[in-house]
Amino acid sequence: MRISDSIEHFIKEMLGEDSPEVELKRNELAEYFGCAPSQINYVLATRFSPSQGYLTESRRGGGGYIRIVRVMETGPQKLAYLVRDRIGDSLSEEQAQRIITHLRDTGMATDGEADLMSAALGARALSVPLSPEMKAALRARMLKSMLLALANKNP
């Protein structure tokens, strides 16, 4: 298991079912995992973002901390939030995959639905003669349409 995966797993275990938020010291966490504090920042930025259902608050310095809060929105409200606020006019393949993983992890999309979404938004499906900007715009529109279909399926 990669260190990023280990850090993510550790934080998610601390969040658990009962605790919607956790407060950690970045340096203590880095020391525990034997990594640089920048590795902790990387995990927070890529695995605990709003599109994955988390808000992070960070204060640097000697008494600095990281607070991670799991957003409690679920179902159609969460899907509407993703469509309205998290998916702009363009979306990279990596960003789309993070959103799809979040949908699968939270049960808003079944494994089959998530697999189909991943396939439809992946590089293989979009290997057409378009600029990267056009592909990102197309990916965003396609994911928004898929999320609206999921919202209608789960009222």
Structure tokens at 132: 């990267």
pTM exceeding 0.85: no
Domains of the chain, earliest start first: 3-70 (3.30.56.130), 75-153 (1.10.1200)
**Residue 28, C-beta contacts closer than 8 angstroms, at least 6 positions apart:** none
Give the 3-state DSSP-derived string for 64-77, with helices as H, strands as E and coil as C: CEEEEEECCCCHHH
User: Looking at residue 61, what is its pLDDT?
Assistant: 66
β-bridge pairing 54-59 and 65-70: antiparallel
pLDDT digits (tens, 9 = 90+) for 94-152: 888 888 888 888 788 899 999 999 999 998 988 889 899 999 999 988 988 888 777 76
User: Looking at residue 138, what is its pLDDT?
Assistant: 92
User: Looking at residue 1, what is its pLDDT?
Assistant: 73
pLDDT digits (tens, 9 = 90+) for 36-57: 888 888 888 888 876 677 777 7
Whether the Cβ atoms of residue 42 and residue 64 lie closer than 8 Å to each other: no
User: Looking at residue 85, what is its pLDDT?
Assistant: 61
Question: Is pLDDT above 70 for 35?
Answer: yes
Q: Starting at the earlier edge strand, list the strands of the sheet with 54-59.
A: 21-24, 65-70, 54-59
